[in-house]
Amino acid sequence: MRSIRVLTADDETLALRRLKLLLRGMAFVEHVGEASSCAEALARTPELEPDVLLLDIKMRDGDGVDILQHLFRLPNPPIVIFVTAFDKFAIRAFEDGVADYLLKPVERDRLGQALHRARQKLHGIDAEQRVAELQTIVRNLRDTSSGENSAFETELWLRSSSGTVRVPVDAIECVSSEDDYVAIHTRNGSLLMRGSIRQFEQRVEPGRFIRVHRRWLVRRSAIVELRSPKTGPAEILLRTGRRVPAGRVNVRALRRLF
């Protein structure tokens, strides 16, 4: 089989750089270019004619659905592999197997598996079938999005050592900042998710989690006690026995809460 031509599209410079490095070591791949916006991806796809488009599902000037709607107008559209930090609508839309997706940060083995499948699909279905698949993806993404009653997350899908794990928001005890990630802590353990504390707050229902420290959020209903001794740092005691530090600037607001 010939090499497959891959175009990468992401509005994060570091994400594009990571994909470029990962693709460089794959003998069956030719990385033909990259795009840092939806507009650039739409312009470069017909120009470069990639076999596969590695596409960030949410970018500053639009999302993957916007691009898909234009792609299936092309005479020979690429196979699309979504790359995402996490999107509940996307994961549900992929349940029928019409497309693949990769969770950030992308791992080499997982990327290789997705590209191998795309390579096989290129020789198994024609352009008309690819158009039909793109239309199905768009319909699924739109249907699942419009079917939600709330704009806030009720569950997260997080990567673990054994695969992708569903974590209900109500099962999350607390969240901590870990450099470019947040650690999602539950009774059963902790998992990392790319992003910031602020981004997590924007995804869940307001008031469900409260800031107790610059690096910590706690689910309100999980709190048992605020401990603020005259000497030593303050802390929050959770129902499971976990102790979380409470910042000095947060203690006054926490006292009002209790």
pLDDT at 76: 82
Q: Report the 3 state secondary structure along the chain.
A: CCCEEEEEECCCHHHHHHHHHHHHCCCCEEEEEEECCHHHHHHHHHHHCCCEEEEECEECCEEHHHHHHHHCCCCCCCEEEEEECCCHHHHHHHHHCCCEEEECCCCHHHHHHHHHHHHHHHCCCCHHHHHHHHHHHHHHHHHHHHCCCCCCCCEEEEEECCEEEEEEHHHEEEEEEECCEEEEEECCEEEEEECCHHHHHHHCCCCCEEEEECCEEEEHHHEEEEECCCCCCEEEEECCCCEEEECHHHHHHHHHHC
Instruction: At 203, list the tokens.
Output: 């995804």
- Beta strands 100-103 and 79-84 are parallel
pLDDT tens track for 106-138: 889 999 999 998 888 887 666 667 667 666 666
- What is the side-by-side strand order in the sheet with 4-9? 29-35, 4-9, 52-56, 79-84, 100-103
Please check whether residue 254 is in contact with residue 212, taking contact to mean a CB–CB distance below 8 angstroms: yes
Q: Looking at per-residue confidence, does 24 or 195 come out higher?
A: 24
pLDDT at 10: 93
Superfamily in which the 4-146 domain is placed by CATH: Response regulator (3.40.50.2300)
Q: Domain extents for the chain?
A: 4-146, 155-257
pLDDT at 96: 47
For residues 65-81, give the mean pLDDT. Answer: 80
Q: Which fold has domain 155-257?
A: OB fold (Dihydrolipoamide Acetyltransferase, E2P) (2.40.50)
Q: Looking at per-residue confidence, does 60 or 43 come out higher?
A: 43
pLDDT tens track for 143-168: 655 544 455 778 887 877 777 788 88
85 burial type by CB count under 10 A (0-12 exposed, 13-18 middle, 19+ buried): middle
Give me the half-sphere count of Cα atoms (radius 13 Å) on the Cβ side of residue 130: 25
- State the average pLDDT for the chain: 83
Asked whether residue 230 carries a pLDDT value surpassing 80, the answer given is no
Asked whether residue 100 carries a pLDDT value surpassing 60, the answer given is yes
